[in-house]
Amino acid sequence: MTPEPAEPRGARRRWRLPVAAAVGLVLAAGAVFYLGGGYDRWQDGRSLAGLCHGSVDTAEVRALLGADRVRGKDAGAPEGLASCSVDNAGSPGNGYLDVRIDRGSEGVGTALHTLGRDRPSLATSMVMPLGHGRRGVLDLQGRAGATAVTALDCPGQGKEGLLVTVHTVPAGGDHLLDDPAQRARFARIAARAADGAARVWGCTAPSGPEITEVPADTRYVKVPDGAASGTCAGLSGTVNESPADPNAPVEDCFLYADQDAPRFRLGAYYPPFADRLPAVADYPVTGPAGGKDGLAWATAACPGGGTALFTVDTVFDGNRAAAPDPALEKDALRTFATRSAQRHGCSAPQLP
């Protein structure tokens, strides 16, 4: 067999040079892509795709955290139905947002803990309604971040429902939600997370207009005697209150009673929170109404077979606990519980 003629040496050089140049260009482009942050952004995009089953609006989270880059992570083995987080990728540890989706019976304890309800007598935590027809609340905790909890009904799944808990800690420890635009942005993130969870698990999330505003944090604003119009309406003395909303599953009212700091804290808890609160807060609640260890409580029957729990307790202001005043507390509880129950369509409360 006649051997094939060898390729001329010059021809070999002619095709090798273009190939080497092409390879060099590919490598150079890759280096530019990598060194220019393209690879990191590609990784960011991959991590954010479908986060918590697509329930997280990552563009809003990026703006909330004030980060050029954010990276997401789904929990490998979440205790609930889904759990994920978004971190400031450009400055790890400097700002994050967590989302957790639970069945109601499984997530109530976690949600109450995140809302600071395991320390119910502290004056440093007060909820306000998420509003816009949503059955949820916001807790604006200053440098400790902010929390939103939304309860969803799930027809055909018994009384379970879902709880969607969103918690964020701002970059640099700033009071993130002092800014009205950031408050609205956080509320939108929480509402959209609830909408996403509702789509995935076949639940209902009331839809309304785009959230462009949420009430200001009134926690440290004293409302003078006779001027209360929200959750403290009808009570005498100086108060801190939030707007009254029939969809808020938790309501707070702080009563000063002529003190420099809040003296009593009134709370209203509706399903699914009422049943679990005594255990979470270590409250000695027994029976439909009563008083013990400085706590007084009342209950009311609500639509759907649930029970609401109303409490009044003395406040620890960081230095001392206020002296109990059983008569004043029970009188305030009567007004607070009666108005709240009416707002939520529940029966007249059983009072101590």
**pLDDT single digits (tens) 235-251:** 999 999 999 999 999 99
CA distance 44 to 193: 19
Banded model confidence at residue 330, pLDDT cuts 50, 70, 90: very high
**pLDDT single digits (tens) 253-303:** 999 876 677 889 999 999 999 999 999 988 999 999 999 888 899 999 999
Residue 198 φ/ψ, nearest 5 degrees: -60, -40
Number of H helices, E strands in the chain: 7, 13
Closest CA to 271 of 117, 167, 135, 115: 135
pLDDT given for residue 5 in this prediction: 52
Helix or strand or coil: residue 56? coil
pLDDT given for residue 54 in this prediction: 81
Question: Is pLDDT of 203 > 80?
Answer: yes
- Tally of residues, the chain: 352
Q: Where are the domains of the chain?
A: 49-214, 218-352
Q: Give domain 49-214's CATH number out of 1.10.10, 1.10.150, 3.40.1000, 3.90.1150.
A: 3.40.1000
